[in-house]
Amino acid sequence: MSIVSTTIIQQPAYLVKTNLVTKKVIFITAIILCLSQLISSPVALLLGILIAFCVGNPYTAFNYKATNILLKIAVIGLGFGMNLTSAFKAGSKGFLLTVGSIITTLLLGYLLGRIFKVGKKIAYLIAVGTAICGGSAIAAVSPVISAQENEISVALSTVFILNAVALFLFPFIGHLLHLDQTQFGLWCAVAIHDTSSVIGASGKFGKEALEIAATVKLARALWIIPVSVLSSIFFKSKNAKIKIPWFIVLFILAMTINTYFPAFHNYGHSITTISKSALILTLFLIGSSLSYSTLKAVGIKPFLQGVLLWIIIASLSLWVLI
């Protein structure tokens, strides 16, 4: 056995002293539990947070990349359980709400950034993450505006923390206000940052809410392209490379196959089941990336900007829908 695996590694005081092998065993056991579908999305997220705070994540270097890949796989797979016609019919209801909320969020984000004296790029990344699709939007726009690593980290951490809160808070509010499936699906798509938490929260509320939320959110994600173009102009960036979210095209293709090829339904059900497990695992990995050091790195001003912006957009969109 190696020296590394038997030695207590250096770690923050709030973590339970654990050797590397034990950390890995705990982490891998949690992954197996998530894949078994014995726990729900919110519980998986909470489990990830508890491991991050109490034991520590032994695979932090791979977390973001794994989360990004798993989320795309889960989204594409969920398309095999959706009907293209009904999904787009429901999703079209959120078009005007989507356009209005994106413009409003970007303007408010800029204003709040000025009020709280947050760095221009950090404030913009938080606004973009809130307006479109959380971490994916931040990752796409960051190279366009030549954001530094610490600026990206602050914006991502702010969004991920609020995502964690939303996964628990939104279903509770939805039931409290007796929202119907359409209202809740649209609200999730507009007011929750990341696609993972949108799908997790809406899926907990109901199948129709999930279908609407997923369709509207992914249509919303396409706004990464025009927003990236405008960002390059606003920040006067030269030779900026704009990322196109190709996985959304595959999601639409999956819905098309499920809608027009009935013989594929049996396979589609299995793929959907696997995709739900992938989503639960994704939320666990997101939770495991939220540690005390993550919270500390954010800083009070960017966090206040992110929270206030989120509350305003969530309240306004809910008011419109009700």
pLDDT at 107 over 90: yes
User: Of residues 293 and 202, which shows the higher confidence score?
Assistant: 202
First to last CA, the chain: 61
Count other C-beta atoms under 10 Å from residue 30's C-beta: 22
Contact 277, 34 (CB under 8 A): yes
pLDDT confidence band for 6 (50 / 70 / 90): very low
State how far Cα 69 lies from the chain centre.
12
Position 17 confidence tier, pLDDT thresholds 50, 70, 90: low
pLDDT in tens, 179-216: 999 999 999 999 998 888 898 899 889 888 988 888 88
Residue 305 pLDDT > 50, yes or no? Answer: yes
| Mean pLDDT comparison of 32-41, 244-253, 279-288, 309-318, highest-scoring range | 309-318
The conformation of residue 177, written as its DSSP 8-state character, comes to T
Rounded mean pLDDT of 297-301?
Answer: 79
List of residues 6+ apart from 300 with CB closer than 8 A:
none
Q: 148 by DSSP, 3-state: which?
A: coil
Whether 227 and 109 have beta carbons less than 8 Å apart is answered as no
Domain ranges of the chain: 65-321
Find all residues with CB under 8 Å of 286, minimum gap 6, and list them. Answer: 45, 48, 67, 160, 163, 164, 194, 196
pTM of the model: 0.79
Is the pLDDT at 171 greater than 60? The verdict is: yes
At 4 the pLDDT is 33
Select from 256, 239, 269, 247 the least CA-distant residue to 87.
256
